[in-house]
Homo-oligomer: A and B are copies of this chain.
Amino acid sequence: MPKGGRFCPFCPGNESKTPPEILAFRTSGGPNESGWLLRVVPNKFPALRVEGDLNRQGEGLYDRMNGVGAHELIIETPEHLVTQGDLSEKRIEDIFWACRDRMLDLRKDHRLRHILLFKNHGEAAGSSIEHTHSQLIALPVIPKRVQEELDGCRRYFEFKERCIYCDITRQELETGSRVVLETDHFLVFSPYAPRFPFETWIIPRRHFSHFEDTEAAVIQNLAWVQRIMLRKMDKVLEHPPYNWMVHSAPVQEGPLAHYHWHIEVIPRLTKVAGFEWGSGFYINPTPPEESAKFLREAGLG
């Protein structure tokens, strides 16, 4: 229960306060009853809706289309926990399983071209409900930022015949100074020239373009890695607001040799200001070697 007896629509017993669930992992109870460990529900105030046609049209020189898509919330635990890093490894694993299931289901709708998974933690990171939850938005277009990344990766591949993220992973492991931790399946590191202080990326060591194609052993390891990474960040930065986003290939595409899914974590420590909005460049006072060292050396004992 939230402190001070405040109402939480995501706590057990309040299932009727969200739209009916799309998916749940349960130990008992039927749909929209208590007894769940994780619930996926449509956002009550969705950015996009599944119903209707795209109805693409011009308006003079502008273009418009309807907001066809899906906006779902993954309620990560029945406990009123505020911090994803406080979840058990199994709870975190279930988040990724739920996301994977939802992506595999949503991609059957061929209108939906890209699916974004992300989390907003804390008010400064855009979260309005404190009970820990992640989000999924399925879009009828490839978003600008994703298209830029895909184009950049494809140009690199055409030039080198190698995946740029595989090359980055190799170089970061060799250099070592920006590495936070490594496992058999993942590398966690502060990227070269990061936009933000303590920006951290989690990248699978084996090449896969689509998050939803990840194998069970890799998902299990991801849960361990994500939990340790978040706990280190919470320790070093004293529970900062943050966003994480899964970068994954467009869902209607087959496996891509030039793209490599990964997670980007951004603690929200600095303000984005006029220079950043005007330039698309970011002023970051913290070198990645320094943030990686802090995170690497943070004991969780």
Contacts and interface: CB of A to CB of B under 8 A. Distances in A.
Interface stretch (A92-100, A121-129, A200-208): A121-129
Interface in A90-130: 116, 118-120, 123-127
Nearest to A246: B278
Contact of A123 (B116, B137, B245, B271): B271
A190 interface: no
Copies in the complex: 2
Nearest to A192: B62
B119 A274 contact: yes
A244 B275 CA distance: 9
B274 A124 contact: no
B274 A120 contact: yes
Q: Interface of chain A, helix or strand or loop or mixed?
A: mixed
Given A47-B283, A143-B280, A280-B148, A171 B60 contact: yes
A197 to B, nearest CB: 14
A59 B59 CA distance: 48
10 contacts: A61-B167, A62-B171, A62-B193, A118-B273, A119-B274, A135-B274, A144-B280, A245-B274, A245-B277, A245-B278
Interface of A: 47, 59-62, 64, 116, 118-120, 123-127, 135, 137, 139, 143-146, 148, 164, 167-168, 171, 175, 192-193, 243-247, 264, 266, 270-275, 277-281, 283
